[in-house]
Amino acid sequence: MAQLRGSPPIATVAASGVYVIDPYETAAGSNPKALKVMTPSGNWYYAEYRQALGFDAENLAGNANVTSGLLVHLWQGGPTTVYLST
Amino acid sequence: MTPTTPDWGHPALGVGDVFSDPASGITIAPVWVNGTAGVNVTVGGSGGATCVRRNPAVTVSPAQQQGAPSTMLTYTLSVTNTDTGCPAPNYTTQANVPGDGPRALRRCWVPGGWDGHLDHDAGDLDGLRCGR
């Protein structure tokens, strides 16, 4: 599974609203690549939009389970995040 | 929803689905997923903005004109954003000029409640303007 790479612009959400994000694999643009929201307990939710492009072209080719929507995962400290299914 | 082990096989959150964490009051919901993703985030159970996407209202004025060859005919295309509670959309318009193929007009950001006017001069694209 592909993990977060490099330092893409990830926007910290502190207020309710609608935010626009670009596909994670595309070059830097005007929108962030992901959103993160901190829980009261100090964990973080991440939301990202992954497409079969660039470094994910092979991983996600034909995988509509991932590319057809938004990925939400939870970081509770440590090296990995936990993906949340619908 | 239940946290699961990392797996690409888990379905993504689709438009119309909402991830909700009652303990923190956080909800995350995609509003659209098409080239970019619009994400409605509610923090602390405050409700947040409700984004509703609608087709823009489009008018062309005048509806019809006639002119001799090489005569400059000017049309005004008006695009009205009818979304509510959403980030400004990016509308791309295109003029199909008979015998001359499609011509792309420039993009215009139109915040909710504003009108975006793309004035297209069929004979001279330099006359294009974008404003409110």
Distance from the B103 Cα atom to the nearest Cα atom in chain A, whole angstroms: 25
What is the C-alpha separation between A12 and A48, in angstroms, rounded? 12
Between the CA of residue B64 and those of B44, B73, B74, B111, what are the distances in Å?
54, 10, 10, 29
Taking alpha carbons only, the member of B99, B28, B74 closest to residue A49 is B28
- Same domain for B34 and B67, yes or no, is no
- Same domain for B42 and B61, yes or no, is no
CB contact at 8 A, B25 and B43? yes
The count of domains in chain B is 2
Q: Choose from A72, A74, A76 for mutation: most chain B CBs within 10 A.
A: A72
Which tops the pLDDT comparison, A79 or A72? A72
Beta strands A82-83 and B19-21 are: unpaired
User: B6 to chain A: which residues are within 8 Å by CB?
Assistant: 1, 73, 80-83
- Same domain for B19 and B77, yes or no, is no
For position A23, what pLDDT does the model report? 92
For position A34, what pLDDT does the model report? 92
What is the C-alpha separation between B56 and B33, in angstroms, rounded? 18
Greatest mean pLDDT range, A35-44, B26-35, B45-54, B94-103: B26-35
- Same domain for B46 and B63, yes or no, is no
Q: Which of A13, A16, A83 sits opposite B6 (nearest CB)?
A: A83
Which tops the pLDDT comparison, B57 or A86? B57
For position B79, what pLDDT does the model report? 80
> Percentage of chain B with pLDDT > 90?
9
For position B4, what pLDDT does the model report? 44
Residue B28 above 50 pLDDT? yes
- Same domain for B67 and B95, yes or no, is yes
Is B119 part of any domain? Answer: yes
Domain that holds residue B31: 14-51
What is the C-alpha separation between A22 and A7, in angstroms, rounded? 15
- Same domain for B41 and B67, yes or no, is no
For position A35, what pLDDT does the model report? 94
The residue extents of the domains of chain A are 10-83
What is the C-alpha separation between A60 and A66, in angstroms, rounded? 7
Distance from the B102 Cα atom to the nearest Cα atom in chain A, whole angstroms: 27
For position B60, what pLDDT does the model report? 83
Q: Which of B4, B39, B42 sits opposite A84 (nearest CB)?
A: B4
Is B90 part of any domain? Answer: yes
- Same domain for B28 and B44, yes or no, is yes
- Same domain for B117 and B70, yes or no, is yes
What is the C-alpha separation between B42 and A17, in angstroms, rounded? 7
For position B68, what pLDDT does the model report? 76
